[in-house]
A and B are shown apart, each in its own frame.
Chain A
Amino acid sequence: MTLPETMATVQGPSPWWRRRGLMLGLILTFGSALIGLLAPLLAPGDPAALGELSERLAAPSAQHLLGTDLLGRDVLVRLVHGARTSLLVGWVSVLAAMICGTLVGMAAGLGPRWLDRLLMSITDLFMAFPRIFLILLLVSLTAPSLMLIMAVLGVTGWMGVARLVRAETLTLREREFVAAARGLGLTPWQVAWRHILPGLWPTIIVATSLRVGGAILSESFLSYLGLGVQEPMVSWGGMIQMGRANLVDGWWLATLPGVVLALTVIGYNLLGENLREWLDPRRQGGGLDG
């Protein structure tokens, strides 16, 4: 049953501003990005500056809106600066993984059969192992640093993308418009660039959004284990780790970074999910042939 033509023209995808989920996702992701970018303006204090002895473990008040930690540092200032770490790690590692995965996936999907087999064997080998185990193993090899975390998250994150992109490439490759493009005498590179890659964009965009959330979670866990970024850099995971010791008398220490972290990740997941629905033509319209 195909969509009646008259209906197909009337029913475009619904405008993005009408989708509550998409809007909420945009607000949360752009909000956290703004906070990260404008951190020095929003919270001018030094996140590592030690406070007065009397200000240690102070509950939220007018002076310290979200309280202070064991060393008297302002929690709000640290939260704002923590956004920079989380987003930097999340975006850099995911972009690296996406570029790598897209290249591998397209090469496997469009290249000769032997290349496909080789690339997919390597991908399977990497994928066979639970990711968290690989991350921990690699991170523990040398002294923890921002670069190391981004590299490890990137290196362990490309395989899923490669599989996804390969599968999508294989279906696109069989579409008749690709055959038609070849028939027009386009070179394989032109076909890949003009007709395959544009078809991959929805997949890539959705996967990026969903993966940034995942990478932020991974970074926070590493920081929680003490394998993440080190002082004086601030990270939300590290703050939760510090707050763990004062779960009851300093409840805000472990709770608030978690809330901020969760809101950011919810934002990326919402954005990804709704973009998927919005960009996927198969999920649009409900018409039936008459």
Chain B
Amino acid sequence: MADNETTGSLLQVRNLCVDHFDPHTGARLSVLRGVDLDFSPGQTMSLVGPSGCGKSIMARALLGLLPPGFNWQGEIHWRGERLTDPDTAAWRQVRGRGLGLILQEPQASLNPVLRVGHQIAETLRIHQGLDRAAAWNEAVQLLAETRVPDPQLSARKFPHQLSGGMRQRVLLAATLACNPELLIADEPTTALDVSVQKDILALIRGLCRDRNMALLFITHDLNLAPLLTEQVAFMSEGCIEQVVPAAELVLPALPRRTETAPAEAPAVLKATNLSVVYPGATRLAVAGVDLELRPGQAVGLLGESGCGKTSLGRALSQHIGLQDGSLTLAGEDCRASRGAQARAQRRRVQMLFQDPGGSLDPRQRVGAALREAAADQGPTNEQLLSEVGLDPALQKRYPHQLSGGQRQRVALARCLATSPDVLIADEPTSALDAEARNLVLSLLEGIMRQRGLALLLISHDLEGLQGICGQVNVMFDGLVVESLPVGTSFNPLHPYSRELVRALPRTLREDPALWVQETFLPRMETPTSGSGCPRQGNCRLQKPICGKELPPLKMVSNNHWLRCPEAEAEEPSHFIDT
């Protein structure tokens, strides 16, 4: 990094070190080890690194808001002035007027008991000295600038009344109330759906350009970095290892599935018109899904939060009861079975959960968990652990003594202990780092082939499904809206599936024109007017008929089913190669 003492320098960090003192063990852990950083006005930089590398701590150190027990050393200069004590008014002024911070969880970043307009106006009153009415008006203006629909009304709402994307916009508006010159965005879209993520990223990008605001974009997802910033800094174990221009960045190639194996084995698990409703809820979580899982084949289930994909997975593995429909396992009706028979059937359909920390009993050693699962038959613990590529010595460990990837592999070994016919993996990699993710995915694929398992892979992330699955079902609002093969290319027809693909960071990078289109209307709430297509109101192909009746799932070509007559009629303009 160039080290010019230019007067135009915004932020200058020299040899920033942070360590953490644990009062109980007396140990001192180094979190940041000598970070140098320079920002000039309008400069944008991404900070990419695995979890635990010190990214978030660095953001907090720059703001002077380190958590208790953390100490820092080094020099931080703001506009040439050295900041020393976080408690002084000088640093607070910088926080209020120079640096802005937005965080990962928009849910948690807003005070739940204050109206959102209030939280923005409060900042304006303190930093810009506006009176109550003027501050409120300005707050509404800021909400409009962050493209919150109906800002007058939205300002009067409480955070819980807004969707995740809206909350992130509100937080952005509250941060803009300080009129910051450098915006620090700490994983601002990690908790959001891919379609919402695209809009928030586009918004941040636009705001930085309009306001000539510098941006420090912290993320674990390398794909996002080149979308927002000119430079990308790689961080690892508390050090910035290298800084490269975003344009030169080469993204790792995606795993691609080449062979197509349409071996028509009979379905081992078959669901027909499956429906799930939770007690007290008025809407069906799963509203009539047909699905067949065959030995040695992987089927993907793609969808965003709240679409019912987890409910479907749990219904298939008989963790929750069915409202309607039928479920047969190797020809046996699962709904009719009770007691020991039902338990035996449950053992044949295993579920791999998203959070390996939560799916292993924290008070049970790995060995005991595997023994319990095997029920004193089947493969030994050693065999199971080596099948998932783990050292058999890990048997004596407790789950908290393992890394995230190891835990997920132990959870997988536990599933295999019952010698199941079907494995349902619900977002098995979304809590893991890139490296662990690839390892778990390739393990899943290998085990599926070797054991002839039927695999259902549930994910919000298309790229995760592509390497393994032959067929992908796209789900929205409890319904499968499209089911199509995925291989070297993925050519969906349904308007919703196409928007999902367009919102992928890779697609955005290849075709910057897509940034401009705000394909998704900002969603305040999910439209649910009873009958008709669930996408009505949010669709570019909308016709009056869409509000009247739900279109059926129709086969449009080999292995391709579609629930949208309009898209079927439309001549596909351009296919998107993935």
Contacts and interface: CB of A to CB of B under 8 A. Distances in A.
A185 B414 contact: no
B56 A176 contact: no
Tell which of A6, A14, A184, A281 has the most Cβ of chain B within 10 Å.
A184
B39 interface: no
Interface stretch (A53-61, A140-148, A192-200): A192-200
Given A5-B403, A288-B57, A179 B51 contact: no
Nearest to B49: A290
B347 A184 contact: yes
Tell which of B52, B53, B364, B417 has the most Cβ of chain A within 10 Å.
B52
Contact of A11 (B27, B32, B362, B372): B27
B252 interface: no
Contacts of A199: 361, 363
B238 interface: yes
B346 interface: yes
B22 A179 contact: no
A177 B238 contact: no
Nearest to B22: A11
A45 to B, nearest CB: 46
Interface in B79-121: 104
B319 to A, nearest CB: 5
Contacts of A194: 372
A287 to B, nearest CB: 7
A184 B24 contact: no
Contact of B347 (A11, A175, A185, A290): A185
Interface in B328-353: 343-344, 346-347, 349-351, 353
Interface string A159-184: 00000000000000001110111111
B25 A5 contact: no
A255 interface: no
Interface in B386-423: 400-401, 403-404, 411, 414, 417-418
Given A1-B56, A286-B68, A176 B359 contact: yes
Contacts of B572: none
B351 A185 contact: no
Contacts of A177: 358-362
Contacts of B360: 177, 180
B60 interface: yes
B404 A183 contact: no
Nearest to A4: B52
A136 interface: no
Contacts of A187: 343
Given A14-B25, A179-B319, A184 B373 contact: yes
Interface residues of A, number: 37
Given A4-B51, A8-B400, A199-B363, A186 B343 contact: yes
A231 interface: no
A5 B350 CA distance: 27
A7 B403 CA distance: 11
A5 B343 CA distance: 36
Contacts, number: 113
Interface in B240-277: none
A290 B53 contact: yes
B69 interface: yes
B62 interface: no
B353 A288 contact: no
A128 interface: no
A187 B32 CA distance: 49
A248 interface: no
Nearest to B50: A290
B69 A286 contact: yes
A141 B29 CA distance: 63
A202 B53 CA distance: 33
Contacts of A186: 343, 372
Contacts of A182: 319, 346
B317 interface: yes
Nearest to A290: B54
A18 B26 CA distance: 11
B52 A195 contact: no
Nearest to B407: A5
A52 interface: no
A232 to B, nearest CB: 48
A10 interface: yes
Given A183-B350, A186-B343, A288-B67, A5 B52 contact: yes
Given A186-B343, A199-B363, A290-B57, A176 B355 contact: yes
A181 B52 CA distance: 31
Tell which of A180, A185, A281, A290 has the most Cβ of chain B within 10 Å.
A290
B474 interface: no
Nearest to A177: B361
A181 B25 CA distance: 35
Tell which of A14, A175, A288 has the most Cβ of chain B within 10 Å.
A288
A236 B367 CA distance: 51
A2 to B, nearest CB: 7
Interface of B: 20, 22, 24-25, 27, 29, 31-32, 49, 51-58, 60, 67-70, 104, 235, 238, 314, 317, 319, 343-344, 346-347, 349-351, 353, 355, 358-364, 372-373, 375, 400-401, 403-404, 411, 414, 417-418
22 contacts: A4-B52, A5-B403, A5-B404, A10-B25, A11-B22, A14-B24, A18-B24, A176-B359, A177-B359, A179-B353, A180-B360, A180-B411, A184-B417, A186-B343, A199-B361, A285-B22, A288-B57, A289-B51, A290-B54, A290-B55, A290-B58, A290-B235
| Nearest 7 CB-CB pairings of A with B | A14-B24, A4-B52, A290-B54, A185-B343, A176-B359, A185-B347, A176-B358
Interface of A: 1-2, 4-14, 18, 175-177, 179-187, 194-195, 198-199, 281, 285-290
